[in-house]
Amino acid sequence: MENVSSKVNVTKGKKKMSTRLMVSLSMLAAISIVLVAAIHFPLIPAAPFLEYDPADIPILIGTFAYGPVAGLLLAIVVSVIQGVTVSAGSGIIGIVMHIFATGACAVVAGSIYKRSKTRKNALIALVAGALVQTVAMVIMNLIFTPLFMNVPLEVVISMMVPIIIPFNLLKAGINCAMTFLLYKSISHLLKGN
């Protein structure tokens, strides 16, 4: 009888954790959407169409709290919702670019941080994630920006060094720095510790 009781408690514990995880991820996704709707502005005056938004911060916090798979899931869900609501102008191209860039950052940063959850490793993980996100955006811009802006590839290539790379480094750098500053104070709320 005791064995059955312990199995029931384990099942309840897994269900409770699963419910907490779903609620936490949903909350982080909602915060991400609100942030992109409320805060977005150009970082580089020469390219006002490239806007900074802090939507990746909740995604990265979720990545650190629950791992790289959860981070990738958050990136996909947020990108799709954002792409059909607050950023509908960028359409499917914006959705794909956001999934690829933010997803790459989340997977890399989450995988590194998962190995050793120290402040030093968090910093290494976020720097690596920001660099991977920037490289991902270079690739995505070379593929999709000529289609989206209806310009030749040469125009996009000429924008790489003065505009696209600095913008993506700044955006990813700001979001990763904010994640680094906020994660520890928020993580106990997500995990219920």
Q: Which residues contact 149 (CB under 8 A, 6 or more apart)?
A: 155, 156
- Write out the two tokens for 117: 């959850």
Q: Which CATH number characterizes residue 183's domain?
A: 1.10.1760.20
Q: In the prediction, which pLDDT does 20 show?
A: 86
β-strand partners of 42: 51
Residue 150 pLDDT more than 80?
Answer: yes
Residue 2 has pLDDT above 80, yes or no: no
What's the domain range around 170?
2-39+48-191
Nearest to residue 110, comparing CAs of 61, 76, 77, 175? Answer: 61
* pLDDT tens per residue across span 47-89: 898 999 999 999 999 999 999 999 999 999 999 999 999 888 8
Query: What's the distance, CA 79 to chain centroid?
Result: 9
Asked whether the whole model's pTM tops 0.85, one would answer yes
The number of folded domains in the chain is 1
Condensed to tens digits (0 to 9), the pLDDT of residues 104-120 reads 999 999 999 999 999 99
Longest Cα–Cα distance of the chain, Å, equals 73
pLDDT in tens, 7-57: 444 455 566 568 889 999 999 999 999 999 999 999 998 889 899 999 999
